[in-house]
Structure 1
Amino acid sequence: MRIVDFEVRKECPPQLCDCERERLLHDPQADVSILRLNLTEEKRLLAHIEQIDSYAQLKKLQERLKSNLGVALQIAPGSGEVRTVRGFQIRLQEQPGLCRKTRAAIPAAVRRCLAAHPEIAFAILNENDLLGGA
């Protein structure tokens, strides 16, 4: 087993998660930065996401997730009409070490953030040229 210099996320119950944490820890070539996101850090991250109040802060969060944990957070309008925050496609790129619960919790926190700050949702729509340059 690989020795890491930080507290890693606890093992998920078997058959309940597909994070492949153990395989990641046993592979000496694997990037284990995602394992830094233990339960304590995940709670801090979720609280931080819900505190975001501008589109610039959301973009910075996406960059920091990519640089620190190697995870891509993708936020885009859905293929249909976007009437509520449910119309946005929010997902984390799947990768070994990323827990199933985390893949659900982070998008849910982003949805709560968008619901609390509709101006961020409008900025995402504008960035994706939903209004056709009007």
Structure 2
Amino acid sequence: MSQSIPFPIRKECPPGACTCDRDGLLNDPGGDLRILRLTMADEKKLITRIENISSYADLKHIEVRMQAQLGIVLQINPGSREVRTVRGLNIQLVERPGLCRKTRQSIPAAVRRCLEKNPEIVYAILNASDLLGAA
């Protein structure tokens, strides 16, 4: 590790269990280390926060905060076919070094649970994508 890191970082995954390239990121002098701030405890807090989102504005706020503080880009887009349920939405995190495989799965799953509890947010997402038009 060639850099001195002034904050606690996420523990490394067991060998072969993840493809996050954490070591490569730590050894890159120009690497964006913000993602490593997301410790396991902080990830659990974030998941809880996402699951308790109650409005589209709150979802957008969390997206902006995740990108600003951690460099995580959350993408929520309607699927290529009809969107009849929350399963019709594509929810994913943009790949980047240091982003753990478990995190890439847990955050979209938390968003999906939030959307299942709050269908009005799904309608706002569809409306923002102009799928509902003037309906």
Q: What displacement does 1:73 show?
A: 0.3
Q: What displacement does 1:29 show?
A: 1.1
Q: What displacement does 1:5 show?
A: 1.2
* Deviant stretches of 4+, over 6 Å: none
- 1:20 partner amino acid: D
Equivalent residue for 2:12?
Answer: 11
Q: Matched residues, percent identical?
A: 59
Query: Over aligned residue pairs, what C-alpha RMSD do you find?
Result: 0.8
Equivalent residue for 1:68?
Answer: 69
Q: What displacement does 1:52 show?
A: 0.4
Equivalent residue for 1:52?
Answer: 53
Aligned residues: 134
- 1:58 partner amino acid: L
Gaps of 5+ in 1: none
Q: Any residues of structure 2 matched to 1:59-98 within 5 Å, and which?
A: 59-98=60-99
- 2:5 partner amino acid: V
Q: What displacement does 1:132 show?
A: 3.1
Gaps of 5+ in 2: none
Per-residue CA deviation, residues 83-107 of structure 1 (Å, 9 max, x unaligned), is 1111100000000000000000000
- 2:13 partner amino acid: C
Q: What displacement does 1:133 show?
A: 2.9
Q: Distance in 2 between matches of 1:51 and 1:16?
A: 29
